[in-house]
Amino acid sequence: MKKIKLILPVFLGLVLSFSSCSKDDDEIVDPGDDNSGEIPVEPNEPELLELRNYSSGQKVMMQTFYWDVEPRHEWWTTLSDKVEGWADAGIDRLWFPVATKGQSGGYSMGYDPSDYFDFGEYYQQQTTPTRFGTRTELEALIEKSHNLGLEVIADIVINHNSGGGKEYNPYRDKDTWTLFNEENGNASGWFNRNYENFYPNSTSPYDDGSLFYEETNLDHNQEYVQDWLWKKENSVAKYYMNEMGFDGWRFDYVAGFEPWVVKAWLDEVGGFSVAELWDGNASNLANYVEETGSGAFDFATFYKLDEAFDRHDDLTFLERDMLWKTHPDKAVTFTANHDTEKDDNEDNNISVENKMKAYAFILTHPGYPTIFYSDYENENFQAEIQQLIEIHNSLAVGDIEILHVDKDEYIMKRNGNNENPGLIIYISTGENTKRRNVQTNWKNVTLLDYSGNSTYIPTSDENGTASLEAPANGYAIWSVSK
């Protein structure tokens, strides 16, 4: 059994050794038949800790959009009505959609970038506002977010371009849509481009094999492209940060260009950064963050959650390699995003019935969790996600130990520290309530489920052993009471 363990100072009688004491793996306990260690409900019933008095030192990020958001042209104002509630819930960063004009104009989600400096102020691609609204509305949203203490993260697409004018391209010996100027998809007049700035060209006489828009795949080796993307004072990176007020970057499709590009960008302008390297191999993700200095979406965790809860229905997959295990400060964990939740995506998502268990996992484990807009705005999920965020922001502290794992049970402990008790999460995919004796860090104390999914009230003994519970096909998050 794999363990990640660090001996920490004593808190509430912290024990310095780990042992597992459990009932038979297959035993299902009827809560009414086992009163060992349980305190009858009395007038002086134990109370939950005031979580606002504790801090894990980290909050969570909100992805503020889904694919093909509606209503078109009103998204910035829609978000403006929500940011205060998100700040109150414990969010500290907002990942915005691609904010500039794409080839599809008012229908574009921004991943077909045309003009990097048109935030909804130039009439081109048959519209002035972007799908999300006008520049004025965006600037007001950024200002409001900053006033609430929220950072705003720009989605940046620098692999491919789309929506330019047609010109003869001698390197492909045919016409290509590679002319970007004031009359052709780049009304701002900044960062004009032609076939010389895309693969192949006179300085890079080869096709780099891009999967997207291969004829308009930017050549980042060119000084001109580097100047306009991140080096010049009015480059994309510096303009977004200094003029628009963005605080960081979500780099789209980084498999389409070399890692040194992201490193050079961050060396020049800094800011929070997360890369979309769609790769479920934890080692590949680790290599990328080491090479670039950027964070990365933890696709390894996403796929392990999918395999554990859906594909294989086997929680032992939660023991396997994930980016947060080696690079917790660089792993941006998630359970859903605009791509995984597309209507036509059946192979790369976590099912609705298992999604909250997946959120419980990422919001109790190391890494920087991301909440998906559509999940948070789902009235069936919102209160539960808010509670998980509060638990994450307060009690998700300390190194972890996996106390038990089998096909339908997973129990993990966060060890806490001198000032913070930490937590234990117990996930079950079984059809009945489960109980298991585990070694806690808490001696002779009453424990409560902070998720609200269990009303069971156990106590730990003088050695810190306690019988904890998980509801059928659900989870509980245990810590000490007042």
Percentages (nearest 5) of helix, strand, coil residues in the chain: 30, 25, 50
Question: Domain end: 341, 366, 395, which one?
Answer: 395
Question: Domain end: 395, 425, 450, which one?
Answer: 395
20 domain-assigned: no
Q: Which of 252, 401, 409, 469 is catalytic?
A: 252
- In this structure, what CATH number is given to the domain that contains residue 391? 3.20.20.80
Residue from 157, 193, 151, 158 nearest 176 by CA:
193
274 phi and psi angles, rounded to 5 deg: -140, 135
Please tell me the distance from the alpha carbon of residue 276 to that of residue 467, in angstroms, as a whole number: 41
Q: 300 with 408, same domain?
A: no
15 domain-assigned: no
Q: 321 with 384, same domain?
A: yes
Q: Beta strand pairing status for 151-156 and 248-251?
A: parallel
Q: CB 293: neighbour CB atoms within 10 A? A: 14
- Average pLDDT of adjacent 10-residue blocks, the chain of 482 residues: 37 36 42 48 80 97 98 98 98 98 98 98 98 98 98 97 98 97 98 98 88 91 98 98 98 97 98 98 98 98 98 97 98 97 82 97 98 98 98 98 98 97 98 98 98 98 98 98 96
2 domain-assigned: no
Please tell me the distance from the alpha carbon of residue 191 to that of residue 180, in angstroms, as a whole number: 8
**Omega cis (within 30) before 71:** yes
Q: 75 with 131, same domain?
A: yes
221 phi and psi angles, rounded to 5 deg: -75, -20
Q: 226 with 345, same domain?
A: yes
Q: CB 365: neighbour CB atoms within 10 A? A: 23
Q: Render 112-179 in DSSP notation, one character per residue.
A: SEEETT-SS-S-BTTBSSBTTB-HHHHHHHHHHHHHTT-EEEEEE--SB----EEEEETTTTEEEEEE
Q: 347 with 449, same domain?
A: no
Q: 341 with 193, same domain?
A: yes
- In this structure, what CATH number is given to the domain that contains residue 434? 2.60.40.1180
3-state SS assignment for residue 103: coil
Q: Look at phi and psi of residue 416 and say left if phi exceeds 0, alpha if psi is from -120 to 50, else beta.
A: left
Q: 287 with 387, same domain?
A: yes
DSSP conformation class of 314:
-
Please tell me the distance from the alpha carbon of residue 46 to that of residue 36, in angstroms, as a whole number: 17
Q: Please give the C-alpha separations between residue 232 and each of 164, 225, 254, 393, in angstroms, as whole numbers.
A: 23, 10, 22, 39
In the numeric block, the tokens 């998906």 are attached to 372
Question: Domain end: 346, 380, 395, which one?
Answer: 395
How many domains does the chain contain in total? 2
- By the 10 Å C-beta count (0-12 exposed, 13-18 middle, 19+ buried), 475 is classed as buried
Q: 252 with 335, same domain?
A: yes
Inter-residue contact 391 to 451 (CB < 8 Å): yes
Q: Please give the C-alpha separations between residue 380 and each of 56, 358, 406, in angstroms, as whole numbers.
A: 27, 15, 29
Which structure tokens are listed for 193?
């481009």
3-state SS assignment for residue 415: coil
Q: 296 with 434, same domain?
A: no
Q: CB 105: neighbour CB atoms within 10 A? A: 20
> Length of the chain in residues, anyone?
482
Please tell me the distance from the alpha carbon of residue 146 to that of residue 82, in angstroms, as a whole number: 14
Q: Which of 112, 115, 137, 276 is catalytic?
A: 276
Amino acid type, 481: S
475 domain-assigned: yes
Which structure tokens are listed for 454?
């269990």
- By the 10 Å C-beta count (0-12 exposed, 13-18 middle, 19+ buried), 258 is classed as middle
Summarize the annotated binding site as residue ranges: 159, 219
In the numeric block, the tokens 């130039």 are attached to 122
Inter-residue contact 12 to 419 (CB < 8 Å): no
Q: Beta strand pairing status for 165-169 and 174-179?
A: antiparallel
3-state SS assignment for residue 287: helix
8 domain-assigned: no
Q: Residue 389 has what pLDDT?
A: 98
421 domain-assigned: yes
Is 276 labeled as catalytic in the residue annotation? yes
Summarize the annotated binding site for Ca(2+) as residue ranges: 159, 219
Which structure tokens are listed for 289?
């963050």
Q: 101 with 247, same domain?
A: yes
Please tell me the distance from the alpha carbon of residue 40 to that of residue 458, in angstroms, as a whole number: 10
Q: Please give the C-alpha separations between residue 183 and each of 110, 126, 179, 249, in angstroms, as whole numbers.
A: 20, 13, 9, 29
Domain residue limits at 461: 31-53+400-480
Amino acid type, 442: W
16 domain-assigned: no
108 domain-assigned: yes
Residue from 395, 332, 335 nearest 361 by CA:
335
Most distant CA atoms of the chain, gap in Å = 85
Q: 191 with 273, same domain?
A: yes
Q: 365 with 475, same domain?
A: no
Encode 186-222: b = buried (16+ Cβ within 10 Å), e = exposed: bbbebbbbbbbbbbbbeebeeebebebbbbbbbbbbb
3-state SS assignment for residue 259: helix
Q: Please give the C-alpha separations between residue 298 and each of 206, 265, 370, 405, in angstroms, as whole numbers.
A: 32, 21, 10, 22
Is 30 labeled as catalytic in the residue annotation? no
